[in-house]
Amino acid sequence: MSKDDNQILAPSSPSPDDKVRRGDVLPPSDHGVAPALPALPAAPAVVPAPRVRSRWKTLGLLAIVILGACGGSAYWWHSRQGGLPLGIVSGNGRIEADEIDIDTKFAGRIIEMDADEGDMLKPQQVVARMDTRDLEATLEKSEAQVQGAQQSLDAAHAEVVQETTQVTLAQQQFDRTSTLVKQGFATNELLDERRQTLNGAGAALTAANDRVGEAARTLDAATHDVELYKVNIADNTLVAPRNGRIEYRVANIGEVMPAGGKVFTMLDIEYVYMDIYLPTDQAGKVEIGSDARIVLDALPAIAIPAKVAFVARQAQFTPKTVETKDERDLLMFRVRVKIDPERLREHAASVRSGLPGVGYVKYDPTLAWPTKLQGDVAP
């Protein structure tokens, strides 16, 4: 725009008498047109602000964050490994104990409960009893059958004795008649009669012996029935199979249980272990029987002595509860470290299941354990 144009567009400066303040009402002019208002000041030109962060600065900050995360992960893994010397590997896991279900063998009603959750049990300790009145009635019937079979056997033996005497008598008569026939004092007809009598007595003796065998087998069958019912009655008394602790009580007094119904779940405190997962380069060096240690998060100052009891032959996907150094370590080998049962029996009251911790395995037998993993302190 030229200078002349600015002069044309710019309003003329009002006289002192014509100055008007903003907001005043202007009186009508002689020509019917209000005087022109003074021009407003021009808005300042907007100057674009410089960019606070450049592209290279953003990329640099992103690289610093990534390096920091990697360094933190490496530091975390190194701290979890505890600066272990070469020859010792570790992995995290949870200490577990075998679960044993105490079930009913036969369908029936629970009439007695002698244990509850948290109770320590010894082998063959009674924990519950089932109603066995029907089995006891059947047992009495079988015992009566045993008595009857015994009497039949005794009668068969008596019959054998009787038939034996008949055979003896028939043999003597036959011998005498045979002598008389030779001397001419008896006929051959009489001798034939004696022979037939002797043969009949022998057959009767054989039949009597067979009846003895039959009566003996009947007695054996009845006796086995008695033993069977006694075993069934005994199996309706539920007992603890091993040393352990009741973890869950599933049923209660008065409930009718099916065959195989679960009443209790107990933990076998003599089989306590931890499964850890190691990558290929570490698991391949571990052998069955290798020395190990278990350190629980709840008791970090105690290293529990253990032994390697199992090494998987095939790799598997790492469980979600197991932390690994790298997400690429998806396929790991399961290694089980097991605590000595004798140690567990000595500290049965201290055995817990499900506690997280770290398992350490020493695959180099010539290497000494670090001080914190000596295992001098009993668990």
pLDDT tens-place string over residues 168-200: 999 999 999 999 999 888 889 998 999 999 999
Phi-psi region of 23 (alpha: psi -120 to 50; beta: other; left: phi over 0): left
Angle between helix axes 188-235 and 133-183 (nearest 10 degrees) is 170
Question: What pLDDT is attached to residue 319?
Answer: 64
**What letter represents residue 362's amino acid?**
K
Buried b (16+ CB within 10 A) or exposed e, 242-267: bbbbbeebebeeeeebeeebebbbbb
Alpha carbon distance 35, 288 (integer Å): 108
- Residue 148 near residue 273 (C-beta atoms within 8 A): no
- Residue 324 near residue 332 (C-beta atoms within 8 A): yes
pLDDT tens-place string over residues 41-90: 554 544 444 454 466 667 667 777 776 665 555 444 444 445 688 899 99
Measure Cα distances from 230 to 130, 136, 143, 166 in Å. Answer: 14, 8, 11, 44
More confident residue, 231 or 7: 231
Alpha carbon of residue 41 to chain centroid: 86
Pure H helices in the chain? 3-9, 55-81, 133-183, 188-235, 280-283, 341-346
Alpha carbon distance 4, 32 (integer Å): 29
Lowest mean pLDDT among 34-38, 212-216, 241-245, 302-306: 34-38
Q: What is the largest CA-CA distance in the chain?
A: 199
Domains in the chain, CATH or no CATH each: 88-99+268-362 (2.40.30.170), 132-237 (1.10.287)
More confident residue, 47 or 284: 284
Highest mean pLDDT among 206-215, 350-359, 369-378: 206-215
Indicate whether 4 pLDDT > 80: no
Indicate whether 18 pLDDT > 50: no
Indicate whether 20 pLDDT > 50: no
- DSSP assigned state of 173: H
pTM of structure = 0.61
Residue 41 CB: number of other CB atoms within 10 A? 6
Q: Could you write out the DSSP letters of every residue in 314-342? A: S-EEPPTTS--S-TT--EEEEEEEE--HH
Question: What pLDDT is attached to residue 6?
Answer: 43
For the record, the structure tokens of 85 come out as: 């010397």
Indicate whether 33 pLDDT > 70: no
Alpha carbon distance 379, 361 (integer Å): 18
Q: Which of 237, 204, 199 is nearest to 105 (CA)?
A: 237
Which band of pLDDT confidence, cut at 50, 70 and 90, is reported for residue 349? confident
Mean residue pLDDT of the chain comes to 82
SS (H, E, C) 186-248: CCHHHHHHHHHHHHHHHHHHHHHHHHHHHHHHHHHHHHHHHHHHHHHHHHCEEECCCCEEEEE
Indicate whether 96 pLDDT > 90: yes
For the record, the structure tokens of 103 come out as: 């079930």
Alpha carbon of residue 260 to chain centroid: 18
Q: Which residues pair with 96 in a beta bridge?
A: 273
Helix (H/G/I), strand (E/B), else coil: 249 = strand
- Residue 146 near residue 215 (C-beta atoms within 8 A): no
Which band of pLDDT confidence, cut at 50, 70 and 90, is reported for residue 371? confident
Alpha carbon distance 49, 52 (integer Å): 9
Q: Is 215 exposed, middle or buried (0-12, 13-18, 19+ CB in 10 A)?
A: buried
